[in-house]
Structure 1
Amino acid sequence: MSQFSSSERYIVSEELGKAVDVAIAIGRPLLIKGEPGTGKTLLAVDLARQLGKPLIRWQVKSTTKAVEGLYQYDTVKRLHDSRFGDGDVGDIAKYIELGPLGRGFAHDEQAVVLIDEIDKADLEFPNDLLHELDAMSFSIPETGAVIDAKRRPIVVITSNNEKELPDAFLRRCVFHWISFPERELMAQIVAVHHPEVETQLLASALEAFYRLRRIDGLRKPPSTSELIDWIAALRHADIDPAKLLGAGLPFLGVLLKKEQDLSLAERGGARGGRH
Structure 2
Amino acid sequence: MQFTSTDSYVATADLEIAVNAAITLQRPLLVKGEPGTGKTELARQVSASLGLRMIEWHVKSTTRAQQGLYEYDAVSRLRDSQLGDERVHDVRNYIRKGKLWEAFEAEERVVLLIDEIDKADIEFPNDLLQELDRMEFHVYETGETVRARLRPIVIITSNNEKELPDAFLRRCFFHYIRFPDIETLKKIVAVHHPGIKESLLTTALTQFLEIREQPGLKKKPSTSEVIDWLKLLLAEDLTAEDLRQSATNALPKLHGALLKNEQDVHLFERLAFMARRGR
TM-score (normalizing by structure 1): 0.94
- Other-structure match for 1:263: 266
Gaps of 5+ in 2: none
- Other-structure match for 2:79: 80
- Other-structure match for 1:253: 256
Displacement of 1:97 after TM fit?
Answer: 1.8
- Other-structure match for 2:20: 21
Displacement of 1:144 after TM fit?
Answer: 1.1
| Number of residues of Structure 1 aligned to a counterpart in Structure 2 | 271
Displacement of 1:85 after TM fit?
Answer: 3.6
1:68-217 alignment runs, 5 A limit = 68-217=67-216
Contact persistence 1:243–1:249 (CA under 8 A): no
Identity of aligned pairs, percent? 53
| Higher share in helix | 2
Query: For the residues of structure 2 that align with 1:240 and 1:76, how far apart are their CA atoms?
Result: 63
Contact persistence 1:65–1:121 (CA under 8 A): yes
Query: For the residues of structure 1 that align with 2:55 and 2:200, how far apart are their CA atoms?
Result: 38
SS of residue in 1 equivalent to 2:137: strand
Higher mean C-alpha displacement, 174-183 vs 67-76: 67-76
Displacement of 1:270 after TM fit?
Answer: 11
Displacement of 1:213 after TM fit?
Answer: 0.3
TM-score (normalizing by structure 2): 0.93
Task: Select the structure of larger CA radius of gyration.
Answer: 2
Note the alpha carbon deviations across 1:12-49, whole angstroms, 9 max, x for none. Answer: 11111111111101110000000011110111000001
Note the alpha carbon deviations across 1:193-233, whole angstroms, 9 max, x for none. Answer: 11122222111110110010011111111001110111111
Query: For the residues of structure 2 that align with 1:216 and 1:79, how far apart are their CA atoms?
Result: 60
Query: For the residues of structure 2 that align with 1:270 and 1:29, how far apart are their CA atoms?
Result: 50
Please identify runs of 4+ aligned residues in structure 1 that moved more than 3 A.
Answer: 83-87, 269-272
Displacement of 1:95 after TM fit?
Answer: 1.3
Q: What residue identity is the alignment partner of 2:257?
A: V
- Other-structure match for 2:217: 218
SS of residue in 2 equivalent to 1:177: strand
Gaps of 5+ in 1: none
Displacement of 1:241 after TM fit?
Answer: 1.7
Matched, 1:10 2:13: no
SS of residue in 2 equivalent to 1:50: helix
